[in-house]
Structure 1
Amino acid sequence: MNHLMIYTHPRKRSFNRAILDAVTESLRQGGDEVIVRDLYGIGFQPVLGPSELLGGVGEDVVREQSYVSWADHVVFIYPLWWTGLPAMLKGYIDRVFSYGFAYKYDDGVQIGLLAGKKATLIHTQNKSAEQYEASGMGNALRLTIDEGILAYCGFEVNHHFVFDSILASTAEHRQTWLAQLSERVRKSES
């Protein structure tokens, strides 16, 4: 299986980076192909330009679209900031998941053009999952990201893994999470 890892975190030594490394290693050990796109590392330009609204995309977007086309499974790894995607990742989606590539309308009916692809989301957050669920924000996240972006474009969302209370977690907790995550991602891809 071909896996595309869309990784979004500005720090090279973060728990998000440890997640990326653990999942990538596990998938490769399973004999799968993996491409990592570290959006900060490649200096991805997240700002949608005026010409892109009219359908003109640059070489950088064409390159990223080729990776998405290649992938059977796309894994998004990111921190939750202000109850949403980091601007870098949102800009990636704005530019790369463009009209005519990721979705289109046919007689007013929306069609997801990335059907047949699977997606897994892995995000970290500082609040507890219970706080997000109690406030309704957990459901809002699923609706806006899982459904409103990925399912809209045709992806089958396998799973949305949430690592919560990150600042309060211990090194032991994080090691346990990483050990469990690799197996869970492999199971969720099939």
Structure 2
Amino acid sequence: MNHLIVYAHSEEGSFNNAILDTVVKALEAKGHDVHVRDLYKLGFDPIFSKADSAALRAGNPPADIKTEQEYLAQADFITFIYPIWWTGLPAIIKGYVDRTFSYGFAYQYNQEGGIDKLFAGKKGAIINTHGTPSEIYDAIGMTAALKQTSGNGIYEFCGIEVAEHLLFGGIPASTTAEERSEILNQIEKRFSSF
């Protein structure tokens, strides 16, 4: 299976980086072809510009968008790994979606007024960390809102079946090394089962 990981965290020593390493190792151990697109290392420009819009409408995506769309098109399974900042996606990954999940590539409207989900047949997972303890996000409805926004609003809107959406709170301030190790074990087991 061709597995694409879109990763967004600005610090190499972050817990998200440990999550990325765990996912890659679990998938490679099962024989998957794994491609990691580390948006910060790539210097990915998250700004969806007027020029981008015009180029995409003309069917001539800019080179950086075209490269990412080729990875997306070839992927059977797409995993996003990123922290929650200010109860949402970091700008770099939101910009990735804005620029690459474009009209006519990821979705389009049909003559019946419905939506053609052009990523139908693909599966995906999302892994998020956040500093607020999970109990607080659960109690105020934020966990459900994040799953709705990213899982339904991005993935399922384009036809990607959400196989898993894992959110881990209290990272790193409220978690111990043992708890973080258990999180990585949980991730390893889950991704080994795909």
TM-score normalised by structure 1 residue count:
0.95
Deviations 1:131-188 (A, max 9, x none): 112112122112111101110011000110111111211112111211221111232x
Aligned partner of 2:151 in structure 1 is 146
Give the conservation status (yes or no) of the 8 Å contact 1:51–1:57. Answer: no
Question: RMSD of aligned C-alpha atoms?
Answer: 1.1
TM-score normalised by structure 2 residue count:
0.93
Quick one: distance in 2 between partners of 1:2 and 1:186? 14
Give, in angstroms, the shift of residue 36 of structure 1: 0.4
Quick one: distance in 1 between partners of 2:137 and 2:188? 25
Q: Gaps (5+ residues) in structure 1? A: none
Deviates more, 1:65-74 or 1:168-177: 168-177
Aligned partner of 1:38 in structure 2 is 38
Quick one: distance in 1 between partners of 2:52 and 2:159? 21
Quick one: distance in 1 between partners of 2:121 and 2:155? 12
Decide which of 64, 72, 77 is 1:73's aligned counterpart. Answer: 77
Give the conservation status (yes or no) of the 8 Å contact 1:28–1:34. Answer: yes
**Aligned AA (1:176):** E
Give the conservation status (yes or no) of the 8 Å contact 2:143–2:167. Answer: no
Aligned partner of 2:114 in structure 1 is 109
Deviates more, 1:30-39 or 1:129-138: 129-138
Aligned partner of 2:16 in structure 1 is 16
Work out whether 1:186 is the aligned partner of 2:192. Answer: yes
Q: Gaps (5+ residues) in structure 2? A: none
Give, in angstroms, the shift of residue 77 of structure 1: 0.4
- Helix, strand or coil at the partner of 2:12: coil
Aligned partner of 1:63 in structure 2 is 67
Aligned partner of 2:183 in structure 1 is 177
Q: Percent identity?
A: 46
Deviations 1:76-97 (A, max 9, x none): 1000001111000000000000
Quick one: distance in 1 between partners of 2:191 and 2:90? 22
- Helix, strand or coil at the partner of 1:19: helix
Work out whether 1:88 is the aligned partner of 2:103. Answer: no
**Aligned AA (2:176):** T
